[in-house]
Amino acid sequence: MNIVITGASSGLGAETAALLAAEGHRVILGSRSIQKLKEVKKRIQSEGGSCEVYALDVTNEQSCVQFMKQAEENNGSVDILINNAGAGTFKKIEELQAVEVEEMLSVNVTGVHNMTKAALPYMKARDQGKLLFISSLAGKIPSPKASVYAASKHAVIGYARAVRMELAGTNVNVSIFYPGPIDTPFLDKADKTGNYRSRLGRMMLTVRETAVAVGKLTEKKSRESHLPKVGFLLSVLYQTAPKIVEKAAGKQFQKK
């Protein structure tokens, strides 16, 4: 299959690309950092995989349209779009700057819409394809100092579910993935204090196990999937007993 992955220059995107390429898929990668993308491509090709890379700014609608046009023309078709690009800053509300808020909403919400909108005409014309949205457990269970990040990931959930309803009756599948905290460079940028990483320690997911879970989702028609699996139970608990979860989360994350 031909699989597009946004935000693929590092972290989960890069690892997922390497894993899927090793399984025989052709991966088409996009990111603002073309130099880092070329490094990912070099790794994939050295392992015998097939990969193409293009510069992509998901916050720019025309960039997304051009990216999908290139991906389709050079590969015949795009079977799966993995909306993975994300941005995050973990700070108290009074410390968050407007530019940081705008970055999270632009990448995590507008960017998801731009890429989905650019990919859908091709998939609908073939009546075949898959949209895989990388959300976060934070979208279901918010925590201190992740207010806007949680809001943006909550928006992804609502958006993806609405897209699924719009695509009812077609063969374009929609899946949402909810990973917990992942040990990637994303955390270093989101929390420059390092407190988040130190507080979670062994609770964090490895990038490899998370990429494996994403890879499995590309093969299934699962509507939604959580990692770790207990994340689903925690999200249900939050819906039924929010006070308990908020108290526990407050203690765990207040210092991040």
Active site members: 149
How far is 197 from 204, CA to CA, in rounded Å?
8
Please give the structure tokens belonging to residue 164. 């699924």
User: Which amino acid belongs to residue 118?
Assistant: A
Nearest to 130 by CA among 61, 71, 77, 67: 77
Please check whether residue 161 is in contact with residue 176, taking contact to mean a CB–CB distance below 8 angstroms: yes
Please give the structure tokens belonging to residue 236. 């249900």
How far is 158 from 141, CA to CA, in rounded Å?
14
3-state secondary structure of 197: helix
Q: Are strands 2-6 and 50-55 parallel, antiparallel or unpaired?
A: unpaired
Q: What is the residue-wise DSSP string for 89-127?
A: ----GGG--HHHHHHHHIIIIIHHHHHHHHHHHHHHHHT
Polymer length in residues for the chain: 256
